[in-house]
Amino acid sequence: MHTASALVAIVDDEESVRQALGRLVRSAGFQVRTFGSGSEFLGSLADCSPCCVVLDLRMPHMTGVDVQRALLASRPGVPVVIITGDDTPEIRRQTLAYGATAYLRKPVDETMLLDAIQRAIAKPEAPAASRPATP
């Protein structure tokens, strides 16, 4: 997929983080839509078809894991790049089991994030039989 046609959704409750990540991802040539909550993002899926989602885990009302599960149920082929300030082995295991293509700790290294997005978009969707079972 060509970068200029690829839409990346950024979901983070911190406005300054959303803005900074949006600028970074746009500077790499991607289209970007930002969302301040998981429910706002999920509600946009009727008119928004992201090629990749950059998803914060710690958000009020609906966690990143909740969003990831809902996205997996409704749009199983959309890759997710997790970003978090709360790195625990259990959360890492859980998000990877739900199919996250990358798991990055905040503060996020810009090059690592852009590389993770590029890899996620370039990766062909796995057939349903080879996807990990939902824990």
pLDDT digits (tens, 9 = 90+) for 79-108: 999 999 988 999 999 999 999 999 999 999
pLDDT digits (tens, 9 = 90+) for 44-82: 999 999 999 999 999 999 999 999 999 999 999 999 999
Q: How far apart are CA 32 and CA 10, in angstroms?
A: 7
pTM given for the model:
0.89
Helix %, strand %, coil % for the chain, to 5?
45, 20, 40
Q: Which CATH number fits domain 3-125: 3.60.90.10, 3.40.190.10, 3.40.50.2300, 3.40.718.10?
A: 3.40.50.2300
